[in-house]
Each structure stands twice: as structure tokens, then as C-alpha cells.
Structure 1
Amino acid sequence: MTTDIARDLMLDGFGRIRDGVPAVVDGLSVEELLWRPDAAANHVAWLVWHLARQQDDQVAHLAGEQSAWLADGWVDRFGLPYPPDAHGWSMSSEDVGRFTVADPGLFGDYHGAVHDRTASLLQGFDADSYARVIDVNWDPPVTVGVRVVSVLDDAAKHLGQAEYVRGLVERRR
């Protein structure tokens, strides 16, 4: 597979996430964004925030940069009751329950900024970039290419979960 094909496939995959984030939150009220199927479940707002945060942090790490969350002030715009470096990993159900929504439009805007950083990074990759080993603690060691696929996979799973919860919200109407 040539580098151009790999880049185009990754850009297409991440573009699908970019398109899906606004679609999953559009038209939902704050109450609906925060609705949980049960007390231990995640809601649409948390799922979308987490998918953007994990993508942001991991892409920033690959680029050797600070995350958009911190560098571009998204942490302040969201005003969440979490430490500034929170990203959702290992959060309890209680933590998810403390999530707040200041402005539903922030989800699409923040993920759009994360997507732009992701696309910019991918545009600069060549075959050697994808093959570079970044974590030798695994067998086989993790390469940039494997990490990029992992980020896309995680984002797609969380977007699908958010779409499912949105469907439950809509059925309640």
C-alpha cells in the first residue's frame, strides 16, 4: 500500500468521525445530552467529549505538541468539573454524572479543531512515519500507524455508542 492510499484511508475514516460528531448532538437539548439510560451508563455529551479528548491527546502526542484542549483554551470554554488534563479514561460513573454542558455547539467546534490537527498530522506522514516505533512495551511494539488506527477505532466506537444513546433519547420523546 502506498503512503498516499494509507493517508487517504485515514483521512476518510477521521472525516467520518468529524461529520458524525455534530450530527449526534444537533437538535438535542442539554437535558437530552445528559440523559443516561441508567445510573452507570454514559450519556451522549460525555461520549462525544471523551472521543474528542482521546483523539486530541493522542494526536498531540504523535505531533509532539500540547493538546488543543489545553493550548487553544477548550478546557476553559467547556468549564468541566474535572482537572484540566482529564480525558475520560478511568472515570467513574459518579465522574460522568458530574459532566455539565455549557454550550452544545462546543462539541462540534472542539472536535472540528481536533480533526483539523489530525488531518494536518496525517498530511505530513510518509511510509517511514507510519513505521516508526513509539512504544516498545508491547509485543509487537506499537508503531505510529498502529496508534493512528487505534485512535480512529476508539473514536468510531464512542461515536457509535453516542448514536445509540441518542436513539434511546429520541425514542423517549
Structure 2
Amino acid sequence: MQSKELLLESFDRLPGLVREALDGLDAAQLQRRPGGNGNSIAWLIWHTGRVEDAQVASAAGLEQVWTAEGFVKRFGLPLVERDTGYGHSSEQVDAVRAPRELLQEYYEAVHRQTAKVLEDIADPDLDRVVDRHWNPPVTLGVRLVSILGDCLQHIGQAAYAKGLHGGTAGAGGA
């Protein structure tokens, strides 16, 4: 298996996990915050898409799906256009409201762009430095693994929160 195939296999699992986390939830369940101050499922899935979108687009020199495909307007959130959710206050978490269909549609559009980027990479590309703000500088390979880990963590949190609402966490839950 080539690195590209391994990355595609890994990232290809995410849309199904997002779908499982969102399946069957109503608007109130999407907005409920575990413990009253945890992140809502809507925020977690939105943030997952925003982080993957922003970081993959930046590393690949592409426009984010968020703006390129008009999702920023469709969501209509009271946030700045480039917001990804990092450092959000409690009020900002509450402000992220969207129907599950829109959350799913956005994540799937992000995934399509990620998959296209991954289709076009070769092993030497993974050593290309994409962020010099860190020591050592971050390579494309390290960034992709970081994105994948972040996405898995947040989707897992959404599945856990769904279980708290009395829903099922999906096939991955034990």
C-alpha cells in the first residue's frame, strides 16, 4: 500500500462516521451541550469540517470549500468568514446552529476536496513544508495526520454526545 492509498483509506472513513453521528437527531439534540457547557454536536461537526477544510486548502493552495461553494452564506453564522472554531467562547459555540442535512452536506463537500488533494499527492510531496510557524516546521504528511487525528477526535465526541441524548453512537461505539 502506498502512502496516498493509506491516507485515502483513512480519510474515506470520516464521512460515514459524520453521517452516523448526525443520523436521527433533531434540532434540539444537535444544539444540546453536554453538561451545559460542552460542545454541541452541531458545533463539533461544523468545527470538524472547518478544520479539515481550512488546513487542507491552505496546504494545497486552494480556496476553502466554505467560501468557494457558498457554505459560509448558507450557514449564515454570526462569525467571521474564516472562523474555524478554535478558541470559541461559550456564546460562539451556541451560535453555531445548522440543520443536520447542511452539516452533512458541508462535510461531504470538504471530504471531496480532501480526497481530490490526496489523489494527486506522491510520497515525496509528504515531506514538503506547509507551515514554518512551528519548530520543526510542519510537513504535509505531518499536517495530514494531525488533521485526521483532530477529525477523529471531534467526530468521536459527537458520537459520545449523541449517546448522552439517548441515541446510538453507531457501529464504532462499544
TM-score, normalised to structure 1, is: 0.92
**Partners of 2:8 and 2:61 in 1: how far apart?**
20
Kindly indicate whether the alpha-carbon contact (under 8 Å) linking 1:39 and 1:93 is maintained by their aligned counterparts in 2: no
3-state secondary structure, aligned to 2:53: helix
**Partners of 1:68 and 1:28 in 2: how far apart?**
25
Q: Counterpart amino acid of 1:160?
A: G
Aligned to 2:170: none
**Partners of 2:166 and 2:3 in 1: how far apart?**
37
**Partners of 2:32 and 2:44 in 1: how far apart?**
12
Of residues 21, 24, 30, the one that matches 2:21 is 24
Q: Shift of the alpha carbon at 1:114? A: 0.5
Aligned to 1:158: 154
Of residues 119, 123, 148, the one that matches 2:115 is 119
Residues 137, 79 of structure 1: alpha-carbon distance in 2 compared, 3 angstrom cutoff: closer
Q: Shift of the alpha carbon at 1:20? A: 0.8
Is residue 6 of structure 1 aligned with residue 6 of structure 2? no
Aligned to 2:62: 65
3-state secondary structure, aligned to 1:170: coil
3-state secondary structure, aligned to 1:9: helix
3-state secondary structure, aligned to 1:38: helix
**Partners of 2:100 and 2:135 in 1: how far apart?**
41
List gaps (5 residues or longer) in structure 2: 168-174
- List aligned pairs for 1:92-107, cutoff 5 A: 92-101=89-98, 103-107=99-103
Kindly indicate whether the alpha-carbon contact (under 8 Å) linking 2:4 and 2:123 is maintained by their aligned counterparts in 1: no
**Partners of 1:76 and 1:137 in 2: how far apart?**
31
Q: Shift of the alpha carbon at 1:137? A: 3.5
**Partners of 2:48 and 2:147 in 1: how far apart?**
9
Q: What RMSD over aligned residues (CA atoms) do the two structures have, in Å?
A: 1.3
Kindly indicate whether the alpha-carbon contact (under 8 Å) linking 1:22 and 1:107 is maintained by their aligned counterparts in 2: no
Alignment coverage as a number of residue pairs: 167
Is residue 50 of structure 1 aligned with residue 47 of structure 2? yes
Q: Shift of the alpha carbon at 1:142? A: 1.1
List gaps (5 residues or longer) in structure 1: none
Q: Counterpart amino acid of 2:32?
A: W
Q: Shift of the alpha carbon at 1:122? A: 0.6
Kindly indicate whether the alpha-carbon contact (under 8 Å) linking 2:48 and 2:150 is maintained by their aligned counterparts in 1: yes
**Partners of 1:141 and 1:129 in 2: how far apart?**
15
**Partners of 1:138 and 1:72 in 2: how far apart?**
31
Q: Shift of the alpha carbon at 1:120? A: 0.5
